[in-house]
Structure 1
Amino acid sequence: MATNPPVGDNQRRGAVRQRSQTETPSGHWVKRDAVTGRFMDVKSDGTPFKGVRKEK
């Protein structure tokens, strides 16, 4: 997990490493592991994941 000081403020500075996300035709966002290519998580509220780069 990415952490930045001060510890405990629940904020991350910078992007999440080795992750990418793409939008499905149904409007959900899917997070993918860049190393293995496996889908990790789906976000169904229509908003993208924070701090994760988008695939083109």
Structure 2
Amino acid sequence: MAKNTDQEYRVGAVKGRIQTQTHSGLYVERDTSTGKFINMKTSERTPFKGVRKEK
């Protein structure tokens, strides 16, 4: 799992999760083992930090 630092960035990648962008421009986080959507970023239109992007 990624570790948070005090400088507003993470060291390492978040394992077991991927993210994709919706048609509206928001980012959604998905669990790779189940395929279920976990979290949606509604406050900003920036990607999640440390989570790989779905191809």
TM class, shorter-chain normalised? 0.7 to 0.9
Q: Runs (4+) of structure 1 moved beyond 3 Å?
A: none
CA-to-aligned-CA distance 1:24-46 (integer Å, 9 cap, x gap): 00010000000000000000210
Q: Unaligned 5+ residue runs, structure 1?
A: 4-9
Identical amino acids, percent of aligned pairs: 60
Superposition TM-score, scaled by structure 2 size: 0.81
Q: Unaligned 5+ residue runs, structure 2?
A: none
Superposition TM-score, scaled by structure 1 size: 0.80
- Whose Rg is larger? 1
Higher strand proportion (structure 1 or 2): 2
What is the number of residues matched between the two proteins?
A: 50
Give the superposed CA RMSD: 1.3
